[in-house]
Amino acid sequence: MKLSLRFVLPLLVVLFLVALSVTPLIDTLTFHWFTRDLDLRGKMIANAVHDSLVRKFSKRD
């Protein structure tokens, strides 16, 4: 029991410190991925409806 606590306790502390130190990096990467994803989706939607909107508004002239 003592041997396992000598191993498990430092392991948990190290894992906690690693997780704590990596959190800002993961947060930044996730934010950049999310904004880039939304930008790409918006461009894709705009490209998809562009032709139909041009045709619709050009018919009114």
CA angle (45, 46, 51) in 5-degree steps: 110
pLDDT digits 0-9 by tens, 13-25? 999 999 999 999 9
CA 11 to chain centre: 29
pLDDT digits 0-9 by tens, 1-59? 777 888 999 999 999 999 999 999 999 999 999 999 999 999 999 999 998 888 888 87
Per-residue confidence (pLDDT) for residue 57, from 0 to 100: 86
Per-residue confidence (pLDDT) for residue 5, from 0 to 100: 85
For the whole model, what pTM was predicted?
Answer: 0.64
Tokens of residue 1, six digits: 């029991």
Residue 60 has pLDDT above 60, yes or no: yes
